[in-house]
Structure 1
Amino acid sequence: MVAPYDMAVPGGVNAHIHALCRALDRRGHELIIYGPSSNDARLGRNQVPVGGSIPLNIGGTVSGLGLNVFRDGGVRRLLAREKFDVVHIHEPLAPVIPILFLRNAPCPVVGTFHVHREGGHKIYAATAWLLRSWIGLIDHRIAVSGAARGTVSRYFPGRYEVIPNGVDVARFRNGTRGAAIPAKNGSPEILFVGRIEGRKGLPHLIEAMPAVLRSVPSSRLVVVGDGPGRLEAQSIADGLGVDVHFAGPVSDADLVAYFQRADVVCSPATGGESFGIVLLEAMAAGRAVVASDIEGYADLIRPDDSGILVPPGDPVALAGALTGVLTDDALRSSLERRARKAAEAYDWSLVAARIEAIYLDLVTRPRR
């Protein structure tokens, strides 16, 4: 398994890789994760660093990429020594570590594409002339959503199988031991989970809170996560007189506890989302969901069924949807029930089985 981004830094793609590896491990497979790392001490037992990482702002998110082109020989020797049955590369056209594995793999290659960009992918646009010669080395292409498939196929047409992100349904439904969050005081809670950065849209949610509070005075916004927009978000809240609880980064056990005690989970992202992992986790926990009506959420959220969608960047619409969920018990219960049911189709056991079938097919037929 090849990770495109700094393995020492939490993120959606890294979370996907770890969860997939756990599910495949339970099915009897041996896996090693290779990728860039800025802090080897933070890596797990099955993670092997391939050079350091350089932080770059891509699509509104700072990602650590391994850009050392001189690792080519080392990657070639590693692959020759280990004799893997399959190399599964996430973001296989990302610079540079994924491309080194793609070029040198002597065995079948699976490539998973995670990224969606509404306005187009700048790196693909600038380098398509070069990358076209390498994408043909991928034996099976996966996209995590229709939106992600649309982004990559715009530059590199071909067959992409949509296999979504997964979720550990039992974990989010049943909870985990060891949670240490403050007791809920009985007030209705609106939960935001994610990196605090521009495209996640937290300022719009904070701007919606005064209207929500006029209808539900005891309600409270809880923010789990951190990021470069934290001070700006706090400043907006202070200016509006809104008491926002910034919980910061939390443990896995605490994250589940925050989901389970929330009355509604909100993702006000303005774009750049390819799927909506946080929304899927909320659905698995049986929470009502309010989210932006953006391309990346289209596969996961069915409007007014498994969640409520509102125009992105619209605090008035957000306030109306949140107020409706908080004040209408029947609506909230219906959303919770349907969300819980919808999440079952995304359990990692089912997602991993589909990917395992691809591996088995590739190793039992001649490679192109």
Structure 2
Amino acid sequence: MNIIQVCPYDLSIPGGVQTHVTQLSNELVRKNNKVVVFAPSPSNPGSESEVNCEIKHLTSSTRIPWWGTSIDVSVLKPNEKSQILQFFDEFKPDIIHFHTIWNPVMQTQLLWMLPSSVKKVGTFHDTPPDRGLGKYIGANLMKAGAKYYLPKMDEIISVSETQTKAMGADPNSLPDNFRILPNGIDAESAKTIEKESNPDDEFRMIFIGRFENRKGVFELLEIYRRLQSEMLTKKISLKLIGNGPQYSEMNGFINEHSLDGVTIHKDVNDQEKNRLLLNSDLMIAPALYGESFGIVLLEAMALGVRVIGYGNEGYLTIGEKYGIENFPSPGNRDALFALVKQHIKMSAEAVKKLTSKGLDIAAEHDWKLIAQKIEYIYSR
């Protein structure tokens, strides 16, 4: 099949949708499909996610803040529309797969331009905030958007029950063309990385995510500050992987409180991210709200790394299988602090048992399995 994957986000900036699009595209190429990824022009060309197919940069984008996170806004100009129409004539796509199609406004423009013969598939990834003003405005906007876009899709994919409900759909009573299909992970690419030896008296923690309020990085920094004053049996360290608007503020906090062992790693590529993750003991995901699934949890589990975090609705999609005791209520900093201490002291037998459970859960989400299901959706 000739397939176009449309990513509304800059592929040089790490994110769950970007990872989903690139890894799905790679697996579809491995399965002998011809794939082209449509995306905005990268702000940092050397840091684009690795993908084994052509990336067609359609237009520029502007990143704007949006309820504690950010979105890329891009608009196709008349000359860019002409080039895309010419590409449609030459490539003759069978499928165009939109991701978070309501992200303004490039994808909507593409939808209006498509030849009628092209099958339209939409994967919906995001959820509105579950607190504050955004809880009410965001929820209503998403349901209104769903009423407009869902009827225009031949096939609909939602990444979780949480996301499905956010669109106003009932997970127990979905139409024939609507499926709940979780995110996938590419565990194979990380198997070539060698794990470094870890001294028994050292405990290495890691955070991976955007440096913004929604992801709760300051929740983790406060916990680390408290840990430093504890009489722990092991030396601790914390790696923060990502970038975002709170970067300077984080640096100030780390210096002000003399947080030894904390390092920030900006704009790392996928291989370096996996290397840092593989050589960690515990991945902490303190996202407060707005998570639809939690692919970062699966990526850690696939590498044999334990995970804990706040139990927002998206993370609980995985957390309920892994062990809900590892996911206290969002914002319950005392509970998360106690949980970190518990993992520092965890016996080798308990570590092995939890790691094994994580590997089993991750295996269920291998892209080889997920992509096979998506190919079936394409062929319907």
Q: 1:252 Cα deviation (Å)?
A: 2.4
**Separation in 1, partners of 2:10, 2:239:** 28
**Contact (CA 8 Å) 1:207, 1:236: kept in 2 or not?**
no
Corresponding residue for residue 353 of structure 1: 372
Please give the alpha-carbon distance, in whole angstroms, between the structure 1 residues aligned to 2:278 and 2:119. Answer: 41
Deviation of the 1:222 alpha carbon: 1.6
**Alignment counterpart, residue 190 of structure 1, candidates 186, 195, 205:** 205
After TM superposition, the score normalised by the length of structure 1 is 0.87
**1:192-271, aligned counterparts within 5 Å?**
192-213=207-228, 214-216=230-232, 218-243=235-260, 244-271=262-289
Q: CA deviation at 1:137?
A: 1.5
Work out which of the residue numbers 130, 153, 160 in structure 2 matches 1:138: 153
> Residues 264 and 287 of structure 1 are in contact (CA less than 8 Å); yes or no, is this contact kept in structure 2?
yes
User: Deviation of residue 134 (structure 1)?
Assistant: 4.2
Q: 1:129 to 1:117 in 2, by over 3 A?
A: closer
Matched with 1:321 is 339
CA shift in 2, pair 1:307/1:193, >3 Å: farther
CA contact (8 A) 2:146 2:167 kept: no
Shift of the 55–166 alpha-carbon distance from structure 1 to 2, 3 Å rule, reads same
TM-score by length of 2: 0.84
Structure 1 residues 39 and 192 mapped into 2: Cα distance closer, same or farther (>3 Å)?
closer
Instruction: Determine which of 111, 117, 121 is the counterpart of 2:122.
Output: 111
1:264 maps to amino acid: L
CA distance in 2, matches of 1:199, 1:109: 31
Q: Is the contact between residue 102 and residue 134 of structure 1 (CA under 8 Å) also seen in structure 2?
A: no
Deviates more, 1:35-44 or 1:216-225: 35-44
- Structure 1 pair 223/14, CA: closer, same or farther in 2 (3 Å)? same
Match of 1:189, as an amino acid? R
Shift, 1:164, TM fit = 1.1
What amino acid is aligned across from residue 6 of structure 1 in structure 2? D
Structure 2 counterpart of 1:49, which letter? H
Per the alignment, residue 54 of structure 1 pairs with 62
Q: Please, what is the CA RMSD of the aligned residues?
A: 2.8
CA contact (8 A) 1:6 1:63 kept: no
Q: Gaps (5+ residues) in structure 2? A: none
Give the superposition deviation at 1:327. Answer: 0.2
1:206 match: secondary structure? helix
Q: Quick one: distance in 2 between partners of 1:135 and 1:117?
A: 17
Distance 2:89 2:145 in 1: 25
Say which SS state the counterpart of residue 168 (structure 2) adopts. helix
Distance across 2 between alignment mates of 1:188 and 1:166: 29
For 2:303 and 2:141, the matched residues in 1 are separated by 41
CA contact (8 A) 1:271 1:294 kept: yes
Aligned to 2:358, which of 339, 350, 353?
Answer: 339
Partner letter of residue 119 of structure 2? P
- Label 1:122 to 1:264 Cα distance change in 2 as closer, same or farther (>3 A): same
**Which stretch has the larger CA shift, 311-320 or 195-204?**
311-320
Inter-partner Cα distance in structure 2 for 1:245 and 1:200: 17
**What is the rounded CA distance, in whole Å, between the counterparts of 1:248 and 1:195 in structure 2?**
10
State the 1:204 CA deviation.
0.8
User: SS of the counterpart of 1:25?
Assistant: helix
Instruction: State the SS of the aligned residue for 2:320.
Output: coil
Pair 1:69–1:201, CA change in 2 (3 A):
same
Q: Distance in 2 between matches of 1:269 and 1:88?
A: 28
- Contact 1:102 1:138 (8 Å CA) reproduced: no
Q: For the Cα contact (< 8 Å) 1:116–1:272, is it kept in 2?
A: yes
What corresponds to 2:93 in structure 1?
Answer: 84
Between 141-150 and 44-53, report the one with greater CA deviation: 44-53
Identity of aligned residues (%): 25
Query: What is the Cα deviation at residue 72 of structure 1?
Result: 5.0
The one-letter amino acid paired with 1:52 is S
Within-5 A mapping of 1:34-73: 34-39=38-43, 41-42=45-46, 46-68=54-76, 70=78
* Count of paired positions: 356
Q: Please, which of 19, 22, 25 is the counterpart of residue 26 of structure 2?
A: 22
What is the CA deviation profile of residues 313-346 of structure 1, one whole-angstrom value per residue up to 9, with x for unaligned ones?
Answer: 2321111101101101233222111111111000
Counterpart CA distance in 2 for 1:209 and 1:92 is: 38
Q: How does 1:155-194 map to 2 (within 5 A)?
A: 159=175, 160-172=178-190, 174-176=191-193, 187-194=202-209
Which residue of structure 1 aligns with residue 313 of structure 2? 295
Q: CA, structure 1 residues 81+121, in 2 after alignment: closer, same or farther (shift >3 Å)?
A: farther
Q: Secondary structure at the match of 1:228?
A: coil
Distance 1:253 1:130 in 2: 36
Partner of 1:366: none
Q: Single out whichever of 124-133 and 158-167 deviates more from structure 2.
A: 124-133
| CA apart distance, 1:247 | 2.7
Structure 1: runs of 5 or more not aligned:
362-368
Deviation at 1:39, TM superposition (A): 4.7
Aligned partners of 1:289 and 1:306 also within 8 Å: no
SS at 2:327's partner residue?
A: strand
* Alpha carbons of structure 1 residues 126 and 162: separation in structure 2 relative to 1, 3 Å: closer
Secondary structure of the residue aligned to 2:307 is strand
Tell me the CA shift for residue 150 of structure 1.
1.7
How far residue 205 of structure 1 moved from its aligned partner, in angstroms, is: 0.9
Query: Relative to 1, partners in 2 of residues 1:79 and 1:312: Cα closer, same or farther, differing over 3 Å?
Result: same
Call closer, same or farther: CA 1:229–1:97 in 2, change over 3 Å.
Answer: same
CA contact (8 A) 1:190 1:265 kept: yes
